[in-house]
Amino acid sequence: MNTAEMTDRIANGKGFIAALDQSGGSTPKALQGYGVEDSEWSGDEEMFGKIHEMRCRIVDSPSFSNGKVIGAILFEKTMEGCNSEGSPIPELLARRGVVPFLKVDKGMHDTENGVQLMKEIPTLNDMCARAKELGVFGTKMRSVIHEANQEGIAANVHQQMDFGLQILDNGLVPILEPEVSLQSESRAQAEALLLSNALDQMERVPEGKQVMWKLTIPSEPNLYKPLIDHPQVLRVVALSGGYSRDEACSELAKNDGMIASFSRALLEVLNAKMDDQQFDQALGNAIDEIACASVGE
């Protein structure tokens, strides 16, 4: 796929974006959920080797190429890696109609003013250049909103757009992800503040350019419709945020035009001990359910 084809796939594709971007901090938990115990690896190199094996098994599974996964967010080591047959992962995905994205954030600061801002990304331009070289279409970066704090939310969304504009300048499409915590006691108010600030920040996007947003499924259905309908928003996708797959799909289906970008809710039923048929069937069932919720069926 060329850039125009990838843009059309993300804008109009009937399906969802798989999040396969667990990083160093979340990898041990992801491996445990996959049935790989801490005793089965030692040190970061072996840990990342185990998670790479899991991701390769996912992307090589026949059900992953059934047309319902329109994009995949990759961890940097996954982007640089190959599958079991030696094919570079971004090239393999694009060949199968799955648009590749790269997670670019380097973690977050401690909570201040009710939010967690991202740490600086000093290598962002170099990461973007490498991603483009490998055929990656866009990026993703995550920060978190814990409270309905106007100052904190404004700073959070502003920082997302700052990095987003830098990524646009590098020729990639950014997914901005200011996650509102499901545990927030002021979640509905936080979501309203997020929407207001996001619409304000959209005024900074140059004419002819588009960004994407990855947001917690809102407590008020269709709250984010103004972003979904914005001409400079390519797509609005939803994170599962701690919901089970059934819960996440049920909540997502209430929101017109918002599609999934699930990680844990996609992978929760997979286990390293499954044989290939069991693995593909479990993954296929998850993909079918998430795709149905994304396209409103």
CA distances to 53, 98, 153, 209, 259 from 163, in Å? 31, 24, 16, 14, 23
**Residue tagged active-site, from 50, 103, 140, 214:** 214
**Residue tagged active-site, from 147, 177, 179, 191:** 177
Whether 91 is catalytic: no
Q: What is the C-alpha to C-alpha distance for residues 73 and 16, in angstroms, rounded to an integer?
A: 11
Whether 209 is catalytic: no
**What are the start-end ranges of the E strands in 6-87?**
16-20, 69-74
Q: What is the C-alpha to C-alpha distance for residues 117 and 110, in angstroms, rounded to an integer?
A: 8
SS (H, E, C) 220-267: CCCCCHHHHCCCCEEEEEEECCCCCHHHHHHHHCCCCCCEECCCHHHH
Distance between alpha carbon 191 and the CA centroid of its chain, in Å?
Answer: 19
Q: What is the C-alpha to C-alpha distance for residues 70 and 286, in angstroms, rounded to an integer?
A: 15
DSSP conformational letter for 38: G
Catalytic residues: 177, 214
